[in-house]
Amino acid sequence: MDRAPVTKKGADRLKEELNELKSVLRPQIVEAIATAREHGDLKENAEYHAAREQQSFNEGRIQQLEGTLSTAQIIDITSLNVEGRIVFGATVELEDVETEDTVIYQIVGDIESDIKENRISILSPIARALIGKEEGDIAVVKAPSGAIEYEIIEVSYV
């Protein structure tokens, strides 16, 4: 079985979500089901069916998180000696050579990637082009629209 890499902060976020689902949302759903049962006939009780559906989604997410965390390979980037190279967990500031636009990404595992939070998967084309490079290097990313060159401005391990 493959062990999915996850940063220490990512694992902490997943544990926090799991705790929220178990200790806050699960009791709320149980209470909603109990309240809906009091309304009588369950066959035509929309509140009951909605609460049961929500319970199903919640329990599915709990199982998914527990499975993920039990097999995850948690990597604490601050304990590695990487000497300025871009590795898993690094936060990288990039400048598009052509447009001079800058962007900051953190390279993380698939399970914690979220483009809205600028966390990109280690398997993404950008991350693959960056791994092993250092500040000042140029990384060429093969995109559907053609090759994009990024200059690596800063590498940090937060």
| Domain co-membership, 21 together with 64 | yes
At 70, is the pLDDT very low, low, confident or very high (cuts 50, 70, 90)? very high
Q: Which residues make Cβ contacts (< 8 Å) with residue 82, sequence separation at least 6?
A: 90, 157
- Pair (51, 84) in one structural domain: no
Percentages helix, strand, coil for the chain (3-state, rounded to 5) are: 45, 25, 30
Q: Let me know: does 71 contact 63? Beta carbons within 8 Å.
A: no
Q: Which of 27, 58, 75 is the last residue of a domain?
A: 75
pLDDT band at 72 (very low <50, low <70, confident <90, very high): very high
Query: Where does a domain end: 23, 47, 75?
Result: 75
Could you list the residue range(s) of the whole structural domain that residue 13 is in? Answer: 5-75
Residue 139's pLDDT band (boundaries 50, 70, 90)? Answer: very high
Residues 146 and 100 reside in one and the same domain: yes
Report d(CA 116, CA 77) in Å as an integer. Answer: 22
- Number of structural domains in the chain: 2
- Return d(Cα 94, Cα 141) in angstroms, integer: 12
Question: What digits encode the pLDDT tens for the residues 84-93?
Answer: 889 999 999 9
CATH number, domain at 19?
1.10.287.180
